Amino acid sequence: MNSDRPTTSTATFPVAVPGGSGPQPTRVGHFLDGAIFLCFAGFVILLPHSIKGAQHAWQIALVLWLVKLAMGRRRPYPQPLSAPLLAYVTLSGISTALSPDPNLSWDRMKIVCLVLVGIVFAQNLRRLKQVRTLLFLLILSGLAAAGFTAWQYTYGIGVRVAYILPVGPLYQAHIFHDDIIQSINGHAVHTPAELNRIVTESPPGKWLRINYVRGYPFHKKETLVTREQIMGSGFGTQSLQFARGRPFKAQGTLGHYVVFAEMLMQIGCMTWAMLLSTSPRKKGWQLLFAGTFLALTAALFLTETRAALAGLAIGCFVAVVILTGKRLRIWACVVLLVLVIAATAWIHHTRGPLGLSARDPGTQFRTMMWEDGLRLIGQHPWFGVGMETIRNHWTEWNIRAYTFFHDESHFHSDMMQIAVERGLPALAAWLWFVIAYLIFLLRLIRKTRQRSRFATGVVAGVLASFVAFQTTALVHYDLGIESVAMILFFYFGLAMAIDRMVQDPAAIDVQ
C-alpha cells in the first residue's frame, strides 16, 4: 500500500514514501487491497441501480479496511475536513439522543454516517489509475441505467388500462384508469395482445391473480378476479381498452423518480467534466462521454424533475468555466443554453403552465413546509425536534401541508431539514463543511493543473457535482436520499485521495 508520508510502523503491509521506497506488501496485504478495490468496483456499478447493493459493497470494504489496519497496526491517513464532518455527525447524534422518538431518529443516523463512504475511498485509493477505473465503471453503469429507461419507454413495462367504465366487476376489484398490469398468474404481459391471449385461454371460473402498479413512484398492487368478471367489464369492447404501459416518470430501478433524477444529475456532471477534460486526440473517449451525457440528460428529462435539470445545467456551467478556454467556453455555453431552453419547454409541456409558477402543488407544499419549519426552529433552536419525529407528531405541531395535501413528506430542503430536526448548531456544522469543501476543491484544482489533466477533470467534476447537489438541496432533502448521499461522499473520497496523490509523483500515473 502506497502512502504519501514516511512511517515508523513495523507493519508488513506496503508503505511507500516519496521516492518509492518502503517495504513490499505481504500476500495478505495484496489480498485485502484487491478485495477492497473489488468492493469499490461493485459499489460504483451498483450505485445507479441498487441502493442496498451499493450499501453492502462499501460496508464490506469498510470491514476489510478495518481488518487491514488492525493487522498492519497502522493508523488512517490524516484527512482534510475531518473537523466539520465530526462536528456534524456528533451534533446529529446529540439531537438523536434527545429525540422524543429515539428509535425513529437512530434509524436515520445510518444516513448521517454515510460520511464513512468518503473516508473508506479516501483511505484506500492510492493511484490515479484506480480513480480512472472507478469513474469509467460509474459512467458506463449510468449509461446502462439510461439504456434501461429507453427500454422501458419503448418496449414498455406492462399493459396500461387506457379506459375503464367506473362500474363493473373489474373496477370493483380496484383496477382503475392508468393502472399498469404487469403479470397475470405469474405470466408477464407487455402488450394488449398478450393480455388478451392469457384471458381468453383461461378456463371458465378460474381465478386470475393480477399484479399491477399505480401512480409515480410505482405502488405495487395485487387483486384476484375471475375470467367472467373481466369479460363482464367490457373485455374486447370500447368499454375496456388497453395500451402498452410506459412509466409516467422515469425512475430506473431506484424506486423513485426524484432519486433517479438526482443520481443522473450527479453522474451527468462528472461525465460532462470528463468530456471537457479529455484530450482532443482521444476521439473515441470523447464520443463515449458525449453519447453518455446525452443519454443521461434524455433520461433526466423523462423524470420531469425541475430541480435536477437546473442542477445539471448549473453544475455543467461550473465545469465549463474551470476546464475550457474562451473559444470552447462559448460553444459549451451554447450547448447549456439549449439544455436550459429545452428543459423549460419540457417542464411546461409535461407539468402544464403551473409547472414553473408558485401555484404548482409541489411549490405550494414546499412553501407551507418551510413556513412551519421556521416556526419549529424558533421553538427548538438548539437540538431540533429529532430526525423523523415529524411523522408521529405532525398533528401536535400543526404541520399544515400534511393536512392540506394528505402527504406525509419532509421539509424539501437540506438546510431546513437539518435545522428543524437537529438544530441550528448542526446546520452551522454542515455549512462549515460546505464552505470548507468548496474552498478545498478550488485549491486542489490549482494543484492538479500542472500534474495531470485527468486529475483536474475529476476534481472539476466533483466540484460541478457538488454545486449541482447544493442547487437541488435548496428544494429537496438530498441528504435524506441514501443513494444520493452515497455518491456525494464517494466523490468526496475521490477528491481526498487525489489531494494525497499529488504529493506523491508515483501515484500520478494518468496524465
Enumerate domains of the chain plus CATH numbers. Answer: 82-153+252-507 (no CATH), 157-245 (2.30.42.10)
Q: What is the pLDDT of residue 8?
A: 37
Strands (E), 145-218: 158-164, 180-184, 187-188, 207-214
Q: Which helix (H) or strand (E) covers residue 326, if one does?
A: helix 326-351
Residues 444, 435: Cα–Cα separation, whole Å: 14
Scanning the structure block, which residue is given the C-alpha cell 383496477? Answer: 175
Phi, psi of 165 (to 5 degrees): -70, 140
Nearest to 389 by CA among 98, 47, 36: 98
Q: What is the pLDDT of residue 359?
A: 60
CA angle 68, 13, 54 (to 5 degrees): 35
CB distance 239 to 161 below 8 Å: no
Q: What is the pLDDT of residue 216?
A: 79
Per-residue pLDDT in tens (0 to 9) along the chain, 511 residues = 344 443 333 333 343 333 333 344 578 878 999 999 999 999 999 999 999 999 999 999 999 999 999 987 788 888 899 999 999 999 999 999 999 988 888 989 999 999 999 999 999 999 999 999 999 999 999 999 999 999 999 999 999 999 998 888 889 888 999 999 999 999 999 999 999 999 988 888 889 999 999 987 888 999 999 888 888 888 888 889 999 999 989 999 998 999 999 999 999 999 999 999 998 899 999 999 999 999 999 999 999 898 999 999 999 999 999 998 877 778 777 877 887 788 778 776 676 655 455 567 777 888 888 888 899 999 999 999 999 998 888 888 888 887 787 666 788 899 999 999 999 999 999 999 999 999 999 999 999 998 999 999 999 999 999 999 999 999 999 999 999 999 999 999 999 999 999 988 888 888 7
Q: What is the pLDDT of residue 406?
A: 64
> What's this model's pTM, rounded to 2 decimal places?
0.90
Could you please report the per-residue DSSP string of 5-24? S------SS----TTS-SPP
CB distance 240 to 423 below 8 Å: no
Residues 265, 315: Cα–Cα separation, whole Å: 9
DSSP-derived letter for residue 75 is P
CB atoms within 10 A of CB 114: 19
Q: What is the pLDDT of residue 5?
A: 40
DSSP-derived letter for residue 113 is T
